[in-house]
Structure 1
Amino acid sequence: MHPDYKLLIFDWDGTLADSVGRIVEAMHVASDRSNFARRDDFVVKGIIGLGLPEAIRTLYPEIDDEQLIAFRQHYADCYIALEAEPSPLFAGVVQSLDAFRAEGYRLAVATGKARRGLDRVLRAHGWEDYFDITRAADETASKPHPLMLEQILAHCDVRPEQALMVGDSSFDLLMARNAGMDSVAVSYGAQSLEALRAFEPRIAIDSFPELHAWLSLRAN
């Protein structure tokens, strides 16, 4: 176990699960059904990590409240259909998380997903009770506000300097910075490594098992 860290906190989409393509597709479909012009894939990937209302308003600042409700429903309908079989976890995620638990780390999820969506994928993987705590965007403040990390720290009775946030978006890393916490950037998710390096992560990884290798190296 790494001497500095007791708690590892993971984003879900683009960090643990290979779901970015489905999010982009669902956003395009929702745009079509709501009669808004599609944003290109790069722009849509740039809002992944935000809570859904915040993401939609970022893409379409002119949207009114009634349109937002309809847009959210179109997105949810499409995404749930795409997720009839849940997006696969990235290679090495299961083995690495099991190793982290065996080594005594506390584990948590901090996601831009809604609670209903997060619970659905946790059930699909048999992980209802796997993590010490999970926080979803619709039950707290959206990233990059640090509230969900502060709630996780309080639940686990861990100080910010003893925790590590792992994510694929600027919102993840900025949230960690706002909470006084170190971060790890993953290069295989929604945003480019170049964009993530601006937030000074402790390390950038190209595959999930590299995190375990880095922590194990630091522990010896």
Structure 2
Amino acid sequence: MPEALRLVVFDVDGTLVDSRAHIVEAMEDAFTGLGIAPPTRAAVLHGVGLSLPELMAQLVPDQPLHIQAALADGYKSASFARHVAGGDGAKAIFFPGIRDVLDQLRADDFTLMATATGMSRRGLDRIIEQHGLEGYFQSTQVADTHPSKPHPSMLFAALGDTGVVPRNAVMIGDTSYDMMMAKAAGTHAIGVTWGNHPPEYLADADVIVDTTDELMTALATWIEDLA
């Protein structure tokens, strides 16, 4: 029998790119713009991965919905302004070894790739263009058109786009929301420790890795187990 296709789905912020400083600074801009004390860095990073309405509800649960919505809009505006101010030279920064991981997986004829990210379509498209990743991902799922993680909608859409069954798919992410989403969709889950949540928050992962070398080893083991 021919080898079955498999799908590797990546979170983006905190898994592929290190956007922590940008996120925290844009969040501070949004809050100070409305005269509200900004949340701590730890609180902001703990919520990375959620869609903006859910993140704001988590950061300021006592604020009315219209203020939470205004903060979400303020964050989007501040984030875009910071990107524009950075100019063409302000690229999203890959975590060490990530580009090599993407290149190795792309070279495998039986491996497809996708994204499932809490960022916007505009933000993801910017990263793909900056790093010449056109054609790397067969499905790109973003927060604009899905419920927030950990709802499995993004994974279901990626599976539908590629025709891969859940057993033959793996979600790679840095937060508990990614791991819970994977379990809800019936896929394998690999947690990475270089992002926004510490290892103890990744308890739902099938495997937790500390480096991209360990990630490639974990993927090779998963592929062997599928045979």
TM-score, normalised to structure 2, is: 0.88
The residue number in structure 2 matching 1:167 is 173
1:96 aligns with 2:101: yes
Aligned amino acid, residue 34 of structure 2: S
1:106 aligns with 2:106: no
Q: Is the 8 A contact 1:8 1:108 kept in 2?
A: yes
Give unmatched runs, 5+ long, in structure 1. Answer: none
Measure the CA separation in 2 of the matches of 1:55 and 1:24. 13
The residue number in structure 2 matching 1:184 is 190
Measure the CA separation in 2 of the matches of 1:32 and 1:215. 43
Measure the CA separation in 2 of the matches of 1:74 and 1:218. 42
Worse-matched range after superposition: 16-25 or 142-151: 16-25
Q: CA deviation at 1:143?
A: 0.5
Provide, for residues 150-189 of structure 1, a one-character-per-residue CA deviation record: whole Å limited to 9, x for no partner.
0101111111111000000111001111111110011010
Worse-matched range after superposition: 5-14 or 168-177: 5-14
Measure the CA separation in 2 of the matches of 1:110 and 1:140. 10
Q: Which structure has the higher relative contact order (CA within 8 Å, separation 6+)?
A: 1
Worse-matched range after superposition: 84-93 or 8-17: 84-93
Q: Is the 8 A contact 1:5 1:163 kept in 2?
A: no
Task: Give the alignment's Cα RMSD to 1 decimal.
Answer: 1.9
Q: Is the 8 A contact 1:51 1:142 kept in 2?
A: yes
Worse-matched range after superposition: 56-65 or 167-176: 56-65
1:216 aligns with 2:220: yes
- Where do 1:1-220 residues align within 5 Å? 6-83=6-83, 84=86, 85-104=90-109, 105-197=111-203, 199=204, 201-217=205-221
Q: Secondary structure at the match of 1:173?
A: helix
Give unmatched runs, 5+ long, in structure 2. Answer: none
Aligned amino acid, residue 89 of structure 1: F
Q: Is the 8 A contact 1:50 1:112 kept in 2?
A: yes
TM-score, normalised to structure 1, is: 0.90
Q: Secondary structure at the match of 1:183?
A: strand
